[in-house]
Amino acid sequence: MKTKLSILLVLCLLNLSVFAQQKTKKELKAEKELQRQKEIEALIDSKDFVFEAQKVTPQGGRFIILDYNTYFLKFNTEKTTCDLPFFGRGFNVPYGGGDGGIKFEGTPENIRVEKKKNSYIFRATVKGKNDVYDLLFSIFNNKTASLSINSNNRASISYDGLITAPKKTDK
């Protein structure tokens, strides 16, 4: 009888230790999530970040997965640089002047940030050499983002990807 009672007591103690470990795992997950949220908030407050496109969805089309991490939009209040692929309809593109993508450099204007419960809405307008681009970012706390670009000369297009801090050499 005593051995059964002692075995039961040992099992209860082991069960409590497993429960305590699960609680710490939840706490660690919450701490990581809070850390990511602070990193995203700092990037948005600084208005200095890099969007790396992983997937593109043209207007009226199916999404296309981008194989290489070479497509980006570097946002900065002084100079925004974009090199993203474009699939869709062009309205006013010069003959032989279409390079097949959305490529521009310019100073962003009308920057607006709206905080939602688990995300941010970030808007800006950039005047490129031949076009004006309206940028709409939906940035989430897990560092994922979607970007919609509207321009005067092309159909609207959306991209999904990641938001990161700029590398020191990017500045």
Local confidence band at 131 (pLDDT 50, 70, 90 cut-offs): confident
User: pLDDT digit string (tens) for 96-105?
Assistant: 555 678 889 9
Sign of CA pseudo-dihedral 92, 96, 100, 105: negative
CA dist., res. 163 & res. 16, Å (int): 41
CA dist., res. 77 & res. 65, Å (int): 29
Q: Kindly compute the dihedral angle of the four CA atoms of residues 20, 23, 27, 28, in this order, to the nearest 10 degrees.
A: 70
Q: Please tell me the pTM assigned to this model.
A: 0.78
User: pLDDT digit string (tens) for 52-108?
Assistant: 999 999 887 788 888 877 899 999 989 999 999 888 787 776 665 556 788 899 999
Tokens 């496109």 label which residue? 53
